[in-house]
């Protein structure tokens, strides 16, 4: 297989170029999240990655998940993160104490894992293509699935969310 991720294969040139640009932005943003010396900059780079993921979902024809991603992650989770950063009184500016003393140990672990994953994926999926006429998944299909076969996990998720709300309040209140 042509291991060049960004290379356009003969059809769907526009989608491939779009994928390449968004993927590059996401990887750069992710690297900034884990290497930045500034907590707020790391949080803002995370916004870049999450928005890029939403764009990839649209590229894959999953609009409903993309919109949920924007609403939940970029809207709510990032606000929570920024609150967390500010309530723990992070210095606004460079911080020297963000990494473990032996942070370099993470590099071989991550590279090894990436090597194994990439080898398995390239070996396993070769040139398999996404269906060119992938129709976008309508929200009605997802709701049929959520309120049909996946009803019990859905109810469990609602329970988890209630428990998280109550747990968050109990943990964080001052008394």
Partner 1 sequence: MLVNNFLLLGAVLFCIGVYGVIARKNAVMVLMSIELILNSVNLNFIAFSTLHGNIDGNTLALFIIGVAAAEVGVGLAMVLLIFRNRKSIALDELSEMKG
Residues 101-120 that bind partner 1 (CB under 8 A): 101, 103-107, 109-111, 113-114, 117-118
Q: What are the CA-CA distances from residue 129 to residues 51, 59, 72, 125, 132 (Å)?
A: 24, 14, 30, 9, 8
Nearest CA among 82, 80, 86, 65 for reference residue 164: 80
In the region spanning residues 11 to 30, those forming contacts with partner 1, defined by CB under 8 A, are: 12, 15-16, 19, 23, 26-27, 30
- The answer for residues whose C-beta is within 8 angstroms of residue 3's C-beta and 6 or more apart is 122
Least distance (Å) between residue 110 CB and partner 1: 4
| Alpha-carbon span 66 to 128, nearest angstrom | 24
Nearest CA among 79, 87, 65 for reference residue 142: 65
Interface with partner 1, residue 41, by CB under 8 A = no
End-to-end CA distance of the chain: 62
Least distance (Å) between residue 92 CB and partner 1: 14
Interface with partner 1, residue 76, by CB under 8 A = yes
Interface with partner 1, residue 55, by CB under 8 A = no
- The answer for residues whose C-beta is within 8 angstroms of residue 77's C-beta and 6 or more apart is 50
Least distance (Å) between residue 106 CB and partner 1: 4
Least distance (Å) between residue 160 CB and partner 1: 5
In the region spanning residues 151 to 170, those forming contacts with partner 1, defined by CB under 8 A, are: 153-154, 157, 160-161, 163-165, 167-169
| Alpha-carbon span 148 to 144, nearest angstrom | 6
Q: Which of 25, 48, 64, 74 binds partner 1 (CB under 8 A)?
A: 64
| Alpha-carbon span 44 to 40, nearest angstrom | 6
Least distance (Å) between residue 164 CB and partner 1: 4
Q: Which of 21, 72, 92, 155 binds partner 1 (CB under 8 A)?
A: 72
In the region spanning residues 119 to 148, those forming contacts with partner 1, defined by CB under 8 A, are: 121-122, 125-131, 134, 137, 141-142, 144-146
């Amino acid at each position: 297989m042509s291991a060049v991720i960004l290379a356009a294969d003969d059809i769907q040139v526009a989608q491939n170029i779009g994928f390449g640009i968004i993927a590059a932005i996401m990887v750069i943003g992710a690297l900034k999240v884990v290497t930045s010396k500034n907590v707020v900059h790391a949080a803002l780079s995370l916004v870049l990655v999450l928005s890029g993921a939403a764009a990839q979902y649209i590229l894959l024809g999953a609009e409903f998940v993309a919109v949920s991603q924007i609403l939940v992650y970029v809207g709510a989770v990032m606000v929570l993160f920024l609150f967390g950063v500010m309530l723990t009184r992070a210095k606004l500016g460079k911080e020297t104490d963000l990494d473990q003393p032996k942070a370099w140990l993470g590099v071989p672990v991550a590279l090894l894992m990436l090597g194994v994953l990439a080898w398995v994926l390239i070996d396993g999926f070769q040139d398999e293509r996404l269906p060119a006429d992938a129709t976008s998944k309508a929200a009605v299909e997802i709701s049929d699935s959520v309120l049909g076969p996946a009803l019990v996990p859905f109810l469990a998720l609602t329970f988890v969310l209630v428990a998280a709300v109550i747990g968050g309040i109990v943990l964080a209140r001052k008394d």
